Structure 1
């Protein structure tokens, strides 16, 4: 059996200029990056006079080591819609090098439902993440230099929010001391590194509507506080223009293709467990303006990426999804029913029924928004017909339907019935209702997320978090949308609580204000913004030969 990268390397790749033509882009509207990649200039997002296409949001149950294949289903569904005669585009996030070299793997789909060039996308691609890393760390250097050069802004080194970033999992850099070595080496203070995708600049890039919106958002970033607890912004430091210059190309969406030559836009990569977890506004809007069906995904499960897409991205996008697809696998559901990984290939209906409660909570949560919901069962070879029917029957209790897909092995052909259902559901009227109103206070927003989306009792705020909310109210920040930074593996803030736990409380230890992005991040449990590598990192299996052929990259 061929690996994902072997399938990608054997693909018939069309020149990116041809893919641009299929998408409806003119030659002057793209900037080719070699043969098979291109940047889309920002003009198409503002000059198209066309009714927006249908928006299909793909999300999933809580991820497990058993695998769900959300990106694979997203790609396969888009190819199936294209095969059905519907002009279709995909909008996905860019992969981070951290998971690629760590444990999770890439984000280009798999098997015969992939976007290509797979290796390039999973590695350096068009340099967007490098630009973000450079811009973020430039700001860190400017901040420390301001304190070194007399500290004219009266910045308190104990109250700096802006860490440095690196796009690799490196736990040793979570907490560091800088400025060591005497008076010429900077002001000594505690610091640390986040992973690049956790940078507020990443969130800003993906939420900006154009270059000037990007610049104004960067100017609003709060980097720390003065000795009198007054916020210090990038505007105060005077480098919003310089940072925007560093991101002038990164803000342009990237155009690639699937194995079936469906145009795909891949842009931005905020994680859904520490940020909003969706591709950029510009990428999704461009796909909507060019195609009849724009298929996009939200990171991790519906409790994280799905909720944030609907409550944070939709108001800025100005378009609600026409259909929501929740991806599940029999294997993952059995794992949520407490079956060990080594036993997942054995039929176990009782465990499956127990694990289905996780899917049930996501169906309830997504159904709350008033948008049609469909379940895609990403089929594995060991799944039995009995197990598949159990899932389909369970889903019907929620007024929804489940469809088996086999896109890894068959590509778009393996999602024909799912695509037909998406076309049917997307033609229906929907009545989108947001989870909360912008005027609600932070605690009410938090409780709504926990009670409605997670199925828990509510939130418990630490003394630090309570004090922060009082300070935010005085600063006028208390009405901002909420980004819940929570483990992706459980509906609760305890990664070990699988399935659908009840009567749990989400513990908020602190808030991080992201004024440029326009939200408050609620840090829960032990969530980390700089992951660590596993005992056997994926990097140990990656190699390249004298002909430049890469192996081990999934």
Structure 2
């Protein structure tokens, strides 16, 4: 089969104004970025609301290096709705340059189920990530400048919790010393970088209701403590107005299209293993406002992205999905059953049977939220009928619907059966039920997630985590939801444990207060908020051809 880049060259986007017309968005709200991309003014949300808008969440089993195709399935499902003449719009996250140039590669789908223009979306797009990076680092610069200029707020340099960010994987910047070089170069202190996708500014933009809500969130962002132990917030540094100026355009959702002309809002890009893993609330609402069906996804497996989708995004934004799709593959389940990545082309029913435990756990996890999933099998050419029959039988055992899809090779028509099953499933689930109540102690909320989503026996807290818990209580923030940062490749916090791990504890090493975003980030195991590059980065295979086409970006 041709590469994703070669397939993309077969499709020519229709003018973005034709896509906005499909959604009945008034022309005065459409701000084109060239011919293929547009920003949509938030004023478009003030028009008469579409009362028929339904929300479909796409998640997946635990990720493996073989790739599950969650984004590809989301796009293929949207194209299937289009082929069925349904009013539909996608709501997806923006790709980050870090994984794009690192291990993961592009994040615009695959095969004949892609959004376009893929090269622009995967690289600089409309500059949202750059704006978020700049706003974050303006606050960082203001903190260090305030200390240098006399420190009237008495900021304790040892207790500055706000970090710089960049949209790149660079492990060398995780922990650094700032201000070296003499008196004129600033005041030396320890600091470091996170990746932009893990920035609290990213989370705040993605969870904001509107510009005023974003400004309020920025104002109450905790940046550190004084020498007397008093909390210091971003508002006190008087730069949140400038941060808003940098974020003005980034707050507007981006409109693009799939190969088959399905509208797609692509906006915001927090990772699900180190952040809350969902596209912006504004983009989701914009899609639901202008289409009868909105299809969105949550990052990584259901235990990470989808749990946060329910417990953070749905709770904050008052959303409740009408259907849940759980994506899996034969290849991934065989890897969870112990099969080596190099041997996935060969039928192995024993390994697949072992790996089905991972699917079992995710089905159980969906049902903990009062939802009944539809399992979508993203079929690969090497999958055998016997293997697919085994997965189908397991779904029947759980009394959940199953659909074999071929959208990667066939586009929307390869997911039509899935689309029909999803539409038929609407109305059969109860209103979602969160895993925990916000008034529960923080420790118990963390235990509730770890035991129910991951299958842990218990949670162990480091000395640092215990100190962090005291800060949370002292600031009166114990009622915030929990955002657990965890290894995405395992249900546990140990990335080497595949399938359905049992008899393990989750280790919490620290807790970060994201007061502006409105949640607590719980760091477990060895998870890092600044990834590193692999031995052979994806960037090694990307090049600009003489024709102007970017090759290798997939």
Scaled by the length of structure 2, the TM-score of the pair is 0.99
Map 1:249-260; keep pairs closer than 5 Å: 249-260=249-260
Counterparts of 2:65 and 2:538 in 1: how far apart (Å)? 14
In structure 1, the gaps of 5 or more residues are none
Match of 2:188 in 1: 188
Matched, 1:235 2:235: yes
In structure 2, the gaps of 5 or more residues are none
Match of 1:426 in 2: 426
Given the superposition, is the C-alpha separation of residues 52 and 517 from structure 1 closer, same or farther in structure 2, using an over 3 Å criterion?
farther
Contact 1:322 1:372 in 2 (8 A): no
Counterparts of 2:223 and 2:49 in 1: how far apart (Å)? 40
2:7 aligns to what SS in structure 1?
helix
Matched, 1:151 2:154: no
1:43 aligns to what SS in structure 2?
helix
Contact 1:76 1:113 in 2 (8 A): yes
Counterparts of 2:464 and 2:427 in 1: how far apart (Å)? 48
Map 1:42-441; keep pairs closer than 5 Å: 42-441=42-441
Q: How big is the shift at 1:394? A: 0.8
Number of residue-to-residue matches in the alignment: 554
Counterparts of 2:48 and 2:438 in 1: how far apart (Å)? 30
Q: How big is the shift at 1:463? A: 1.6
Counterparts of 2:315 and 2:51 in 1: how far apart (Å)? 18
Contact 1:58 1:295 in 2 (8 A): yes
Q: How big is the shift at 1:200? A: 0.3
- Alpha-carbon displacement from aligned partner over 1:467-486 (angstroms, at most 9, x marks no partner): 22123112101111000000
- Alpha-carbon displacement from aligned partner over 1:414-444 (angstroms, at most 9, x marks no partner): 0011000000001435232111111111111
- Alpha-carbon displacement from aligned partner over 1:8-28 (angstroms, at most 9, x marks no partner): 122121000000001111111
Counterparts of 2:44 and 2:438 in 1: how far apart (Å)? 30
Counterparts of 1:236 and 1:21 in 2: how far apart (Å)? 44
- Alpha-carbon displacement from aligned partner over 1:210-249 (angstroms, at most 9, x marks no partner): 0110100011111111111211110111111110110000
Counterparts of 1:52 and 1:277 in 2: how far apart (Å)? 26
Match of 2:483 in 1: 483
Counterparts of 1:466 and 1:399 in 2: how far apart (Å)? 42
Counterparts of 1:52 and 1:23 in 2: how far apart (Å)? 13
Contact 1:323 1:426 in 2 (8 A): yes
Contact 2:50 2:291 in 1 (8 A): no
- Alpha-carbon displacement from aligned partner over 1:174-216 (angstroms, at most 9, x marks no partner): 1111111111110101111111111100000100010110100
Contact 1:91 1:264 in 2 (8 A): yes
Name which of structure 1's ranges 267-276 and 392-401 shifts more when overlaid on structure 2: 392-401
Q: How big is the shift at 1:84? A: 1.2
Q: How big is the shift at 1:47? A: 2.6
1:225 aligns to what SS in structure 2?
strand
- Alpha-carbon displacement from aligned partner over 1:349-404 (angstroms, at most 9, x marks no partner): 11101111011111001111112211100000000000001001112222212210
Match of 2:505 in 1: 505
Counterparts of 2:156 and 2:10 in 1: how far apart (Å)? 56
Counterparts of 1:48 and 1:232 in 2: how far apart (Å)? 42
Contact 2:313 2:319 in 1 (8 A): no
- Alpha-carbon displacement from aligned partner over 1:58-84 (angstroms, at most 9, x marks no partner): 000110001100000000001101211
2:360 aligns to what SS in structure 1?
helix
Match of 1:527 in 2: 527
Name which of structure 1's ranges 263-272 and 157-166 shifts more when overlaid on structure 2: 157-166
Matched, 1:39 2:39: yes
Contact 2:484 2:524 in 1 (8 A): yes
Counterparts of 2:161 and 2:123 in 1: how far apart (Å)? 29
1:523 aligns to what SS in structure 2?
strand
Contact 1:59 1:326 in 2 (8 A): yes
Counterparts of 1:454 and 1:45 in 2: how far apart (Å)? 37
Scaled by the length of structure 1, the TM-score of the pair is 0.99
Q: How big is the shift at 1:46? A: 3.0
Counterparts of 2:458 and 2:47 in 1: how far apart (Å)? 45
Q: How big is the shift at 1:107? A: 1.5
Q: How big is the shift at 1:163? A: 1.1
Structure 1 segments (4+ residues) deviating >6 Å: none
2:325 aligns to what SS in structure 1?
strand
2:73 aligns to what SS in structure 1?
helix
Counterparts of 2:10 and 2:192 in 1: how far apart (Å)? 42
1:339 aligns to what SS in structure 2?
coil
Contact 2:323 2:429 in 1 (8 A): no
Counterparts of 2:401 and 2:408 in 1: how far apart (Å)? 21
2:42 aligns to what SS in structure 1?
coil
